[in-house]
Amino acid sequence: MDAGRILESLNPEQREAAEATRGPLCILAGAGTGKTTTITHRIAWQVASGAFSASQVVAVTFTDKAAGELRARIRQRLRELGRQDLARDLDAAWISTIHGFCHRLLRAYPFEAGIDPRFRVVDDSQGRVLRQIARLAREGYRSVVLVSYGSYWFPWFMRRLAERPANVLFLARNLFSK
């Protein structure tokens, strides 16, 4: 199967979106209208035809499940074309949720973003603790005692708190101000 045959199963509107090669493309439509099919065909066709490489693909979805499904469908279309090489190269594509995209971008360019390359993403419970610390700092408390939940993050935080509580409160105040 050649790259051009990928688009044969699409309706005219889907085909128009799949063939668009200039600039970004946003596809908004209701459930069951073929959004994922259109995006799958678009990316598979453009990678297979050489319009761009897999590492140039950026596809942002709302859920991890949707991102995984999109990646799997594109990989399958490339395999149907007999392009195992491109199917393997798809790991270089940026197909993820907005959170995953931002995390990968910050990991790739921490200095350009002005952050420590050893940064860690906090989970919801850790974020709640930091917001509580920020609230206490705004209320004028000079020191805060935390009880570790056994998380990897809290021992680091406790060491920093013991070393310089004012700096930690300053950081929390700036990160989590209203």
**What pLDDT shows up at residue 148?**
44
Write the pLDDT tens digit of every residue in 12-26: 888 888 887 777 777
Map out the domains of the chain with their CATH numbers. Answer: 3-113 (3.40.50.300), 124-175 (no CATH)
Largest Cα separation within the chain, whole Å, is: 69
* Cβ contacts of 13 within 8 Å, gap of 6 or more: none
Write the pLDDT tens digit of every residue in 124-171: 887 787 777 777 777 776 655 554 444 444 555 555 555 555 545 544
Question: For the stretch 134-160, what's the b/e string if a residue is b when 16 or more beta carbons lie within 10 angstroms of its beta carbon?
Answer: bebbeeeeeeeeeeeeeeebbeebeee
Pair 7, 16: CB distance under 8 Å: no
Q: What average pLDDT does range 68-86 have in this prediction?
A: 92
Look up the pTM and report it. Answer: 0.64
**What pLDDT shows up at residue 75?**
94
Q: Is 47 a residue whose pLDDT tops 80? A: yes
**CA-CA distance, 28 to 90, in Å (whole number)?**
24
Taking alpha carbons only, the member of 87, 32, 88, 27 closest to residue 61 is 27
Q: What average pLDDT does range 106-126 have in this prediction?
A: 84
- Report the sign of the C-alpha dihedral through residues 81, 82, 86, 91, in that order: positive
**What pLDDT shows up at residue 176?**
44
Pair 91, 56: CB distance under 8 Å: no
